[in-house]
Amino acid sequence: MTLRFLSGATALLTAWTVLAAELPPIRADEAVERPRVQSTGDFLVIEAPGENNAIDTPRGTTASRLSGSGRVYRWTPSDDTSRVTGGAALFDAVQSPDESFLLLGERVGAADGPNSSRLIGFNLFNKKLASGITLPERKLGSLRFLPSGTTLLAVEKAQPQLARPDRLLLIDLAAGKTVAESEALDRPVAAAETNGKKCWFTLEGANQFHSLGLREFGASPKTAQTLVKGGKLLLSPDGSTLAIYGSGQLEIYDVGAEPPRLLRAMPLPKGFTPDWGLALSEKLDELLLVESGRNAWLVSGKSLRPLAEKSGQAGCYDFSDRRLLLTLAADETIGLYQLPAATAPSMMVSPRRLKPFNRNDNFRLFNRSGKEPQAILVDHRGNVSILEIRPRRWKKTPVYQIP
């Protein structure tokens, strides 16, 4: 009986051994299928040998260097399903330092991820859609042009399902690819700025700000302490002074010094949590701080004064004549303020009521230098327009209209 049992067990073990030998090994990376980014929106590149997207564009400008020729581009943005009023899935928009080129950042993929990113470029001299780059499996946040005009500092947001950490990127727009990555960060980036030699950034929920040399981008960053937790950043036009601001506190640093030297600090009004700002002077002696949907405050030295209630999320400033344009929540209007004395807008205009009419919300606003006051408006649908600021009625000229 015992012999029969052992014989049966041996046969069963042999059978399992043979079966196992016939099955291929299961690789760990094949056990779980890699998530795929859902295809949303559309960007078409049509070969057109005679097409010159840099026509009527001064040589040496960012637009001349980044406008691809021999091609026609067509763009339909991904839908932003998180907004009740709809629109495009835009995460940021930036204008080149020489004001010749506009870049829109679009998120591709489902609302709950995973995501890729598209960077859509417009030549503002000839009003052409002039370039487009897709960064697969990169979920980008804020964008900043380097002074060179052809490289971007970008925030990458973590996507654990794709093994992508929070980090910073340098993107060469002319080459159409990422050229440098920072080390992985242990928290999401709250804000980032660059002067072309260094970049500074803050992390959500942390009382520090960090700096990296762009030539040592993969190195460990240097760290300094601040009273502002997860602060937003604003860099002066000359790149030497940095403002860190957040709930209840503003700090101004000389970042030309090493380590950064605190120039001044001041409390902000109780309950005021600014999420964006504008430099109103070369050294940040004056600046505008705004909490989207709520108040905007002017800061001059160590004094504060309210400028607007229920502000929007965009604005721009012309240093030459001290003209401030600020989006306001009421009817999606833009208020014109003549600084430094203005306490109320001298004019208010709703771009949606200018031809061509639409019902879209304001997304970003950029100054455009010239003989006549102008601005570049991006709305939440992805339409791009030039606004001519006239004494009686402003004029809106489309640069690109979403199909």
Three-state DSSP string of 235-260: ECCCCCEEEEEECCEEEEEECCCCCC
Reported as a single tens digit per residue, the pLDDT across 124-168 is 999 999 999 999 999 999 999 999 999 999 999 999 999 999 999
Claim: this prediction has a pTM higher than 0.75: yes
Domain ranges of the chain: 310-403
The predicted pLDDT at position 16 comes to: 38
Reported as a single tens digit per residue, the pLDDT across 310-341 is 999 999 999 999 999 999 988 899 999 999 98
- Token duo for residue 149: 């005009």
Tell me the residue type at 344.
A
The predicted pLDDT at position 25 comes to: 53
Label each residue of 358-392 as H, E or C. CCCCEEEEEEECCCCCEEEEEECCCCEEEEECCCC
- pLDDT band at residue 343, thresholds of 50, 70 and 90? confident
Give the separation between CA 61 and CA 140, rounded to whole angstroms: 26
Domain 310-403 has CATH 1.10.10: no
Cα–Cα distance list, 25 to 13, 16, 20, 28, 29 (Å)? 19, 15, 9, 10, 12
Q: 């020729």: which residue's tokens?
A: 69
Closest by CA position to 94, among listed 107, 103, 82, 85 = 103
Q: 């036009």: which residue's tokens?
A: 237
